[in-house]
Amino acid sequence: MPLRMNSTPTLSGWTMSQNILVINSGSSSVKFSLFDMTHQTETASGLAERLGSDAAALTLRWADGEYRQALHDSDYATVLTQIIAVLTEQQLLHHLPKVIGHRVVHGGEVFSDPVIVTDEVLASIRQCIALAPLHNPANLAGIEALATLYPDIPQVAVFDTAFHQSLAPKAFLYAVPYKLYEQQGVRRYGFHGVSHQYVAAEAATRLGISAQHGIISAHLGNGCSACAVANGQSMDTTMGMTPLEGLVMGTRSGDVDPGLHQFLYQQKGWDVETVTNMLNKESGMLGLSGLSNDMRTLEAAANEGVERAQLALAVFCFRLARHIGGLATALTRLDALVFTGGIGENSRFIRATVIENLAIFGFRLDNELNARNGDMLGVISTGPGPKVVVIETKEELMIARAALALI
């Protein structure tokens, strides 16, 4: 049943609440979550996807219901108005949100913390477009549309890169001419910061090592990165200037020899755009397996004996273990390895294989705990060595908390 478009509710007709809306606007999708911060719970979440195509649709899920409708107009203002209209019609939103939190991919060297959106902040996010040409314009469009629709609701920007601003130059510089860093900002920034910060803090609390700790977190979803955290600060991470560097991911290659560009140009006549597209969209698990970017599908295929799926899994796990080994050099102690993200939270096979590849660190996996994704604390290891923990990431809740804390 398609909804009628509501006119935009205004603050005068509504009362403020502890509802916080979290928005993650991409180039062809808008993800959203509504939180009741009085109880720190998620009231509803949803996705407007395939924007700009005939298949554009809005899906909303809440505790005991689901709603789906086609979207005929895909501009951000219409989609965001519709999201608030649907939340209202489904009786999930009774008051306008107190604040809207936005996930913003790239904050460059400008942002090391969440900020309330002002004209100056918008200008700085705009300046970072060159560093994230696909993501920042979409993030900006979402913020600007909501600022126009609801000028009285404060908006907060939370950056994927911010947590990694604590990296020292020795960790963030590439060994290319220094002026490229000074003039173009060519350096490693890192991403998934909200997730790494949350799961590391959560692991430290659960394990009772809040004051002093060394933790490595592995965020393994469709995008994958790992991070070394010392006493709550990011020391090093696997993604770089863009999210392409580092681990093998669903469709992204992770590290390759930079000489590959020239080789493919000479051998196949591929220009930079073709190679970049191949590395971002046709590589990783999809490229290696020739089958899928989805870990569940690949594990099932590997179990049935499909060799290329087995090979892709082996590369994924070895590369990850190799990077975890490298990240350990940024720490002076190692208390825990944390797995998170769709793969990290659910795949006992990946966790077991990575731990097997990390024998040198003395992790001792408890197979029974690993099979059920951890005990009450999420621990899947045994013995006196460093712990291995599975922690569900809560990026949206973290954005909601950061937004609330700022107003």
Shortest distance, position 353 Cβ to ligand AMP, whole Å: 12
| Residue 295 touches ligand AMP, criterion: CB under 6 A | yes
Q: Strands, E, within 183-335: which ranges?
A: 214-220, 224-230, 233-237
Euclidean distance between CA atoms 106 and 241, whole angstroms: 10
- Residue 345, CB-side half-sphere exposure with 13 Å CA sphere: 13
Residue 240 marked as a ligand binder: no
| Residue 302 touches ligand AMP, criterion: CB under 6 A | no
Shortest distance, position 112 Cβ to ligand AMP, whole Å: 25
Shortest distance, position 249 Cβ to ligand AMP, whole Å: 9
Of positions 97, 221, 243, 246, contacts ligand AMP by CB under 6 A: 221
Shortest distance, position 344 Cβ to ligand AMP, whole Å: 8
Q: Which stretch binds ligand AMP (CB under 6 A): 157-165, 295-303, 308-316, 360-368?
A: 295-303
Euclidean distance between CA atoms 202 and 156, whole angstroms: 23
Q: Which stretch binds ligand AMP (CB under 6 A): 79-87, 188-196, 199-207, 292-300?
A: 292-300
Helix (H) or strand (E) run with residue 20 in it: strand 19-25
- Residue 90, CB-side half-sphere exposure with 13 Å CA sphere: 26
Residues whose CB is less than 8 angstroms from the CB of residue 299 and which lie 6 or more positions away in sequence, other chains included: 309, 313, 347, 349
Using CB positions, name the residue nearest to ligand AMP: 342
Is the Cβ of residue 207 or residue 295 nearer to ligand AMP in the bound state? 295
Residue 395 marked as a ligand binder: yes
Is the Cβ of residue 135 or residue 213 nearer to ligand AMP in the bound state? 135
**Per-residue tokens: 396:** 């949206």
Residue 346 marked as a ligand binder: yes
Catalytic-labelled residue, pool 113, 119, 160, 257: 160
Shortest distance, position 210 Cβ to ligand AMP, whole Å: 26
Residue 149 marked as a ligand binder: no
| Residue 224 touches ligand AMP, criterion: CB under 6 A | no
Shortest distance, position 370 Cβ to ligand AMP, whole Å: 12
- Positions in 347-406 near ligand AMP (CB under 6 A): 347
Would you call 271 a catalytic residue per the annotation? no
CB 67 within 8 A of CB 60: yes
Buried b or exposed e, range 144-154, using 16+ CB within 10 angstroms: ebbbebbeebb
| Residue 294 touches ligand AMP, criterion: CB under 6 A | yes
- The residue among 354, 342, 341, 360 whose CA lies nearest residue 388 is 354
Is the Cβ of residue 44 or residue 295 nearer to ligand AMP in the bound state? 295
Phi, psi of 280 (to 5 degrees): -90, -35
CB 305 within 8 A of CB 291: no
| Helices 348-357/307-327 angle, 10° precision | 60
Of positions 28, 78, 222, 280, contacts ligand AMP by CB under 6 A: 222
Phi-psi region of 299 (alpha: psi -120 to 50; beta: other; left: phi over 0): alpha
- Positions in 225-254 near ligand AMP (CB under 6 A): 250
Euclidean distance between CA atoms 355 and 349, whole angstroms: 10
- The residue among 14, 9, 63 whose CA lies nearest residue 36 is 63
Show the binding pattern over residues 308-347: x = contacts ligand AMP (CB under 6 A), - = does not: ---------------------------------xxx--xx
Is the Cβ of residue 126 or residue 296 nearer to ligand AMP in the bound state? 296
Write out the binding residues for Mg(2+): 24, 395
Write out the binding residues: 24, 31, 103, 219-223, 294-296, 342-346, 395
Active site residues: 160
The residue ranges that bind ligand AMP (CB under 6 A) are: 221-222, 250, 294-296, 299, 341-343, 346-347
Write out the binding residues for substrate: 103
